[in-house]
Structure 1
Amino acid sequence: MHGLHLIAELYDCRCEARFLDDVATLQETCLAVCSTPGLTPVAQAFHQFGSAREPAGATGAVILAESHLAVHTWPEVRAVTLDLYVCNFSQDNSAAARLACDRLIRAFAPCRVVQRELARGVPDAVAAPGRVGGSE
Structure 2
Amino acid sequence: MRHSGTHLIADLHGIAREKLCDGAALDRLMRQAAESAGATIVYSHFHAFGAGQGVTGVVLLAESHISIHTWPEIGFAALDIFMCGNAQPQRALALIEAALTPASSAVQELPRGYSAASPHLRVSSI
TM-score computed with the length of structure 1 as normaliser: 0.83
How far, CA to CA, are the matches of 1:62 and 1:33 in structure 2? 10
Residue 48 to residue 127, structure 1, CA distance change in 2 (3 Å): farther
The one-letter amino acid of 1:101's match is L
Name the structure 2 match of 1:102.
94
Alignment of 1:35-54 (within 5 A): 35-50=35-50, 54=51
Which residue in the other structure is 1:69 paired with? Answer: 66
- The equivalent position to 2:108 in structure 1, one of 97, 103, 116, is 116
- Which residue number corresponds to residue 6 of structure 1? 8
Residue 108 of structure 1: CA displacement? 1.2
Q: Please report how far the alpha carbon of residue 57 of structure 1 lies from its aligned counterpart in structure 2 after TM superposition.
A: 1.2
Distance across 1 between alignment mates of 2:119 and 2:91: 25
Residues 56 and 116 from structure 1, CA distance in 2 versus in 1: closer, same or farther, beyond 3 angstroms?
Answer: same
CA RMSD of aligned residues (A): 1.7
Contact 1:62–1:68 (Cα < 8 Å) also in 2:
yes
Q: SS in structure 1 opposite 2:103? A: strand
Residues 32-70 of structure 1: per-residue CA shift (max 9 Å, x gap): 1111231111111110112xxx32011110000100000
Change (3 A) 1:111 1:84: same
Unaligned runs of 5+ in 2: none
- 1:126 is displaced (CA, Å) by 3.6
2:49 is equivalent to residue 55 of structure 1: no
Contact 2:56 2:70 in 1 (8 A): yes
Change (3 A) 1:112 1:124: same
Q: Percent identity?
A: 35
Q: 2:81 aligns with which of 80, 84, 87?
A: 84
